[in-house]
Amino acid sequence: MVSQAADAAPLRSAMDRLHQTLWFEALGLVLVAPLLAWTTGGDAVESVGLLVALSLLVMAWAAIYNTLFDRWEWRRHRRVASDRPASLRTLHAIGLEATVVLMSCPLIMVFTGLDFWPALGLDLALSAVYAAYGWVFHWGYDRLRPVGG
């Protein structure tokens, strides 16, 4: 019988996870807010406001999702996040963005006054941008700050 301590996944510390999440959201805001304002013809301040609201929602959810995914990966493959192969990184990014859409579309509707379909279109466009950005960011973060490194 394996003890629970020996079976525990080597995960990022809470401080490292917070560091990772804050850098991800801050850099994403800097990169995406001007793009959102330009593509929608909206005001930059409104774009930042919407992205900050979405960021707060996503930060809370991403911390939960990433921890659960890391634990699942450890139990299934005995592998830490920094050793994750590209195919599983892709699945991870898609899973995160799909669950975010379920939570963020209503927020976009309330914040912008858009009806469901335009809000969903905007949400999906933002999700595509953030999924690609997330893949690159987390790959780079894992290289710069490997688990246990």
Q: pLDDT tens digit string along 69-96?
A: 999 999 999 888 888 889 999 999 889 9
What pLDDT score was predicted for residue 119?
94
Q: Do 51 and 29 form a contact (C-beta atoms < 8 A)?
A: yes
**Average pLDDT estimate for 59-63:** 89
As a whole number, the mean pLDDT across the chain is 87
Residue 7 lies in a domain: no
Residue 2 lies in a domain: no
Number of domains in the chain: 1
Residue 126 lies in a domain: yes
Residue 38 lies in a domain: yes
**Average pLDDT estimate for 27-33:** 93
d(CA 37, CA 122): 12
List the one residue out of 40, 60, 51, 56 whose CA is nearest residue 108: 51
Q: Which amino acid is at 139?
A: W
Residue 83 lies in a domain: yes
What pLDDT score was predicted for residue 8?
67
Residue 3 lies in a domain: no
What pLDDT score was predicted for residue 4?
47
What range defines the domain where residue 54 resides?
12-144
Residue 44 lies in a domain: yes
Phi, psi of 9 (to 5 degrees): -75, 140
Sign of CA dihedral 51, 56, 60, 63: positive
